[in-house]
Amino acid sequence: MNHIIETQQFDRKSIQELFALADQLSGHREESLRGKILATLFYEPSTRTRFSFESAMMRLGGNVLTMENAKESSSNTKGETLEDTIRTINTYADAIVLRHSETGAAKRAADASAVPIINAGDGNLGQHPTQALLDLYTIQKELGRQDGIHVAFVGNLKYYRSTRSLAYLLSKYEDIRISFVSAPELRMSDDVKEYLKEKNVEFAETEDLEQVMREANVIYQTRIAKEWIKDEYAFEKLKGRYIITRARADTMKDGAIIIHPLPRVDEIAPDVDESPHAVYFKQIGYGLAVRMAILKQILG
């Protein structure tokens, strides 16, 4: 059984094996998962995660059952529990990719499932482990290393499951420095900071984006998530605070990169896309290779 629920379950060796497989599968098509079926069950919107898992499965010769908007279109509307839905899909599929609005839903699904569950994001304080794996793979491909780097998470750190997942992953590497750049209302939650302290990872909280942009090897920009910040006044106040403009991007060190899990709204200006530091669209391709590797490891 190979559930993927949180990034703490990975170690350096398993990550390097996964990335080596992603290197092999990048741009490749094969039939190794012929006859296998993947179910993608999404209770929240998605473009990249759902399509990339589906594309990855098809590129490996497998088939896909998909349900978007499961909150409305599944038997959830009739009162069926998540556990019963998962038990049912176990009969139809060999693995399930699940996105859900409740923190802890992926673990609940795994406890009820006889087939692997892949967490594609659970709640506003949960995780998005495959996003963090592809973020780390992007860092490896672009910087050539994961040790000895300064990573700055910018913007929405409180309600952003992929920043939580990547912070946990980075704790496995040596000589890591993390800057958390945000307004006080959106600071990284204490559970992640406590974990980093336990693992002796150097981190600092700051509101000074300019200085961090000059120093960091990786700028991880995030979206101010309207779906999690219900107070309209607070949302309007926070959303324009940390925009990466071309002028700011031009202050970055040679070789430093800007990544973003996407979707972007206006937190990275469109003219940054042409900057040599911008790799957030390339990151989508790295994600496809990583998700092919995940599926091959789990189902192959």
Residues that bind ligand CP (CB under 6 A): 46-49, 131, 261-263
| Min dist. Cβ of residue 95 to ligand CP (A) | 17
Per the CB < 8 A criterion, the answer to whether 178 and 157 are in contact is no
From the list 99, 108, 241, 248, the catalytic residue is 99
Give the nearer residue to ligand CP in terms of CB position, either 46 or 182. Answer: 46
**Backbone φ, ψ for residue 167 (5° rounding):** -60, -40
Per the CB < 8 A criterion, the answer to whether 138 and 131 are in contact is no
Give the nearer residue to ligand CP in terms of CB position, either 113 or 127. Answer: 127
78 is catalytic: yes
Q: Based on C-alpha coordinates, what's the Rg of the chain? A: 19
From the list 3, 7, 40, 48, the catalytic residue is 48
From the list 7, 40, 49, 222, the catalytic residue is 49
50 is catalytic: no
| Min dist. Cβ of residue 175 to ligand CP (A) | 28
Give the nearer residue to ligand CP in terms of CB position, either 2 or 47. Answer: 47
Rounded to 10 degrees, the C-alpha dihedral 204/206/210/212 comes to: 10
The pair of structure tokens assigned to 4 is 């993927």
3 is catalytic: no
Give the nearer residue to ligand CP in terms of CB position, either 131 or 179. Answer: 131
From the list 59, 100, 128, 277, the catalytic residue is 128
| Min dist. Cβ of residue 263 to ligand CP (A) | 6
* Alpha carbons 56 and 54: distance in angstroms, whole number: 5
| Min dist. Cβ of residue 141 to ligand CP (A) | 17
**What's the start-to-end Cα distance of the chain, in Å?**
12
100 is catalytic: no
Give the nearer residue to ligand CP in terms of CB position, either 5 or 201. Answer: 5
Rounded to 10 degrees, the C-alpha dihedral 86/90/91/96 comes to: 100
Per the CB < 8 A criterion, the answer to whether 299 and 28 are in contact is no
Contacts of 174 (CB under 8 A, 6+ apart): 147, 148
99 is catalytic: yes
| Min dist. Cβ of residue 283 to ligand CP (A) | 9
Q: Which residues are catalytic?
A: 48-49, 78, 99, 128
